[in-house]
A and B are shown apart, each in its own frame.
Chain A
Amino acid sequence: MKTEFTYQIGDETRTVTVEREGDCFQVTVGDNAYQIRAQRPEHGRLNLQVGDRRLRAYVAHDGLRRYVAMAGQTWTLERPQPQQKRRRVGAGGPGAGSLEAAMPGLVLDVLVAEGDEVQQGQPLVLLSAMKMELRIAAPAAGRVTKVHCQAGQVVERGQVLVEIARKEDGI
């Protein structure tokens, strides 16, 4: 009984198949095949044996994300979305589209309103998180088309705060 798993690494998809054979697993990663003994002595820990090499791996699952710590390094892998649904509409190029919170935090102040003309580098929103203050500035001149946040609001990383239409002329 063979089971297949895929992991997303950047733009690339890697496929792993696993088949149990007695107390061993036949594992293929891409074109390479391995015979691995694996035990799970406790939740989140694997003891592996590959040939003469024995390895301890710590693995944690968080939604579709997988963390693997092995041989002195930690790796983050993603299982693909069950349906290829997009989490958010992508931002446009520099100067256009939406400005997102680069860290989770508290909106201290919104310095612009919808319809405002803004200059490149002009601060739009002040965010505070973990006692740091972060200034979200306009990447280029343009007009504010939508403000999605207000002072006092807690925002998540990646949440769209402000949308800007690039000033098409005069650049």
Chain B
Amino acid sequence: MFNKILIANRGEVAVRIIRACQELGIRTVAVYSDADADALHTMLADESVRIGPPPPSQSYLCGDCILEVARRLGCDALHPGYGFLSENAGFAESVLGAGLAWIGPSPAAMRTMGSKTSARATMQAAGVPIVPGYQESQDDADLLVAAGRIGFPVLVKATAGGGGKGMRIVDAPAELPAALQSARREARNAFGDARIYLEKLIRSPRHIEFQVFGDAHGNAIHLFERECSIQRRHQKIVEETPSPLLDADLRRRMGEAALAAVRAVGYVNAGTLEFLVDPADRSFYFLEMNTRLQVEHPITEQVTGVDLVKLQIQVAAGQPIPFTQAQVGQRRHAIECRIYAEDPANGFMPSVGKVLRAVEPVGPGVRVDAGVTTGDEVTVHYDPMIAKLIVLGEDRADAMRKMDWALSHYVLLGLVTNISFLRAVINHEVFRRGEAATDFVDRFFADWLPPANEPPDLVLAAAALSELLEGAAVGATPVAVGGKAQGDPYSPWQHLGGYRVGQD
């Protein structure tokens, strides 16, 4: 087993991995940018090293800087988390070349399955159906011809991508050049790789993915599906398992297709095969493979009882997967909601600021994977996801009720979050029936705004009482007001607390 692991990431996933290492008795090294000097992951690790200024290109995407830290501090393995360098085969090679273990698949498997273009070819050869697309050229003129042949609307997607970054829907030929340019720029910023490809857009599909795992001893298993159909701007926001769409037969067939991919490339460590499922005829198409840990991995952990991060570490250390396919099952129902710092009343624009107060819901079957806590800053530099809320219920109905309870008891003050939106999604009749497809948010929430409720009297009373009680706590002297008609009602001298002289 490893002695010291460097976690080349930030936020909640870095926290998740550090915790798994600490539970395994492995020392941890965190890396951080100037924006994260006081972040949770920085504080939690046994050692923390600054790697650069806030922009990812100069910090979390700087493979050389990170590897230098790993060497200097004597790390024997590196976990890349998700995003950033996690799907960069060149970086994985550098890590291995420096004599460290890479906690992930081999660079060769990352190249084959991580690149969507060669993954499609590999899956096609293995007999798994794929969505029609075009990947043969990066030339605009070729892409325009190919798009015409596939038929509009087409999707422009980043070859190195994931999470909707660099993805564009193009409805007409005239829109293609601008979409290509913009997608390439976004892909280059997010992944350091500007290549894109085209794919036919299938209407109202379900997004269902399979968690797979291979080890160095030739064992391959899948850990069942996750349905991730609830997406906004191609970003997953609610995930669940089991999928309400799959029956035992379809689950078995998709699981076999997923395992075929693992065997085809001798895949080692954690991976995810994403499929689009047409709910009309229940046919499925291979979409892409993510050669890393997924954001939504906790729901699989909840229903299978397998700690995927620990299993990643054990498999990277050369140990076999300690159970067989027949020994792993799906029990109960898990749902995850991604909590974003964004404003539903303002077009879901990212919101930034300080978390003045965070109180996480706790209780049976409630799990919070958070990257920030009270006093932490959410900055413009990184993804606006600040936490994941995961529940495990007896069944789907119980899980939905539990999620609604947990969302309503998640206190996050100081930032605008999407919690009210998530509650509306969880309580929507189409979601409750288990019929939501990937166009669910666009269809039912296009013009959604948070309910503009009048604050109840007691909320105003609590605010006013806090002015007195919080003000008193910092030594303010009460100022008497003899009645309502005394001078300027807006004068700061009529109020207590809240003001500081010179404050804007």
Query: What 1/0 mask marks residues of chain B from 487 to 504 whose CB sits below 8 Å from any chain A CB?
Result: 001111011111100011
Partner of A74, one of B346, B413, B465: B413
Q: B470, A77: Cβ atoms under 8 Å?
A: no
Query: What 1/0 mask marks residues of chain A from 37 to 63 whose CB sits below 8 Å from any chain B CB?
Result: 010100110101010000101111111
Give the residue name and chain of the B residue nearest to A44 (CB): B357
**Given A32-B457, A58-B413, A133-B182, are A46 and B462 neighbors across the interface (CB < 8 Å)?**
yes
Q: Kindly state whether residue B37 has any CB partner on chain A within 8 Å.
A: no
Which residues from 7 to 37 on chain A have a C-beta closer than 8 Å to any C-beta of chain B? 7, 9-10, 14-18, 20, 25, 27, 29-30, 32, 34, 36
Q: B468, A74: Cβ atoms under 8 Å?
A: no
Q: A25, B479: Cβ atoms under 8 Å?
A: no
Cβ–Cβ < 8 Å partners of B495 in chain A: 3-5, 79
Partner of B470, one of A1, A43, A79, A105: A43
**Given A3-B468, A4-B484, A59-B463, are A74 and B419 neighbors across the interface (CB < 8 Å)?**
yes
Cβ–Cβ < 8 Å partners of A66 in chain B: 463, 466, 498
Cβ–Cβ < 8 Å partners of A1 in chain B: 478, 480
Residues of chain A whose beta carbon lies under 8 Å from any beta carbon of chain B = 1-7, 9-10, 14-18, 20, 25, 27, 29-30, 32, 34, 36, 38, 40, 43-44, 46, 48, 50, 55, 57-64, 66-70, 72-77, 79-84, 102-106, 108, 128-133, 135, 154, 157
Q: B469, A40: Cβ atoms under 8 Å?
A: yes
Q: A5, B190: Cβ atoms under 8 Å?
A: no
Nearest CB on B from A170, distance (A): 23
Give the residue name and chain of the B residue nearest to A14 (CB): B460
Which residues from 446 to 480 on chain B have a C-beta closer than 8 Å to any C-beta of chain A? 452-455, 457-470, 473, 478-480
* Distance in angstroms between the alpha carbons of A27 and B499 in the assembled complex: 22
Query: What 1/0 mask marks residues of chain B from 178 to 207 whose CB sits below 8 Å from any chain A CB?
Result: 000010011001100000000000000000
Q: A64, B419: Cβ atoms under 8 Å?
A: no
Query: What 1/0 mask marks residues of chain B from 311 to 355 whose CB sits below 8 Å from any chain A CB?
Result: 000000000000000000000000000000000001101101110
Other than A3-B479, A29-B457, A102-B347, give 4 A-B pairs with Cβ distance below 8 A. Answer: A3-B481, A60-B356, A74-B411, A131-B186
**Given A40-B470, A44-B470, are A34 and B382 neighbors across the interface (CB < 8 Å)?**
no
Q: A30, B481: Cβ atoms under 8 Å?
A: no
Q: How many Cβ-Cβ contacts under 8 Å join chain A to chain B?
A: 193
Give the residue name and chain of the B residue nearest to A48 (CB): B462
* Distance in angstroms between the alpha carbons of A20 and B467 in the assembled complex: 13
Partner of B465, one of A9, A15, A27: A27
Query: What 1/0 mask marks residues of chain B from 429 to 458 whose CB sits below 8 Å from any chain A CB?
Result: 000000000000000000000001111011
Give the residue name and chain of the A residue nearest to B353 (CB): A62
* Distance in angstroms between the alpha carbons of A74 and B345 in the assembled complex: 14
* Distance in angstroms between the alpha carbons of A1 and B408 in the assembled complex: 36
Cβ–Cβ < 8 Å partners of B190 in chain A: 131
Cβ–Cβ < 8 Å partners of A102 in chain B: 346-347, 349
Cβ–Cβ < 8 Å partners of A128 in chain B: 189
**Given A27-B465, A48-B465, A82-B492, are A70 and B473 neighbors across the interface (CB < 8 Å)?**
no
Nearest CB on B from A42, distance (A): 10
Partner of B455, one of A9, A18, A79, A135: A9
Nearest CB on B from A26, distance (A): 11
Cβ–Cβ < 8 Å partners of A131 in chain B: 165, 186, 189-190, 382-383
* Distance in angstroms between the alpha carbons of A82 and B498 in the assembled complex: 11
Cβ–Cβ < 8 Å partners of A69 in chain B: 357, 359, 411, 413
Nearest CB on B from A100, distance (A): 11
Cβ–Cβ < 8 Å partners of A108 in chain B: 185
* Distance in angstroms between the alpha carbons of A60 and B374 in the assembled complex: 11
Q: Kindly state whether residue B409 has any CB partner on chain A within 8 Å.
A: yes
**Given A14-B460, A27-B464, A130-B380, are A59 and B470 neighbors across the interface (CB < 8 Å)?**
yes
* Distance in angstroms between the alpha carbons of A67 and B186 in the assembled complex: 35
Nearest CB on A from B2, distance (A): 31
Partner of A61, one of B359, B382, B466: B466
Partner of A58, one of B353, B357, B480, B504: B357
Nearest CB on B from A138, distance (A): 15
Q: Kindly state whether residue B414 has any CB partner on chain A within 8 Å.
A: yes
Q: B464, A82: Cβ atoms under 8 Å?
A: no
Q: B380, A106: Cβ atoms under 8 Å?
A: yes
* Distance in angstroms between the alpha carbons of A32 and B461 in the assembled complex: 11
Nearest CB on B from A162, distance (A): 18
Q: B492, A157: Cβ atoms under 8 Å?
A: no
Nearest CB on A from B86, distance (A): 14
Cβ–Cβ < 8 Å partners of B455 in chain A: 9, 14, 68, 75, 77
Q: Kindly state whether residue B40 has any CB partner on chain A within 8 Å.
A: no
**Given A30-B457, A131-B165, are A67 and B349 neighbors across the interface (CB < 8 Å)?**
no
Q: B383, A130: Cβ atoms under 8 Å?
A: yes
Q: A5, B463: Cβ atoms under 8 Å?
A: yes
Cβ–Cβ < 8 Å partners of A133 in chain B: 182, 185-186, 189
**Given A77-B455, A82-B499, are A67 and B414 neighbors across the interface (CB < 8 Å)?**
yes
Q: A38, B457: Cβ atoms under 8 Å?
A: no
Cβ–Cβ < 8 Å partners of A5 in chain B: 463-464, 467, 495-496
Cβ–Cβ < 8 Å partners of A25 in chain B: 465, 468
Cβ–Cβ < 8 Å partners of B494 in chain A: 4
Nearest CB on A from B352, distance (A): 5
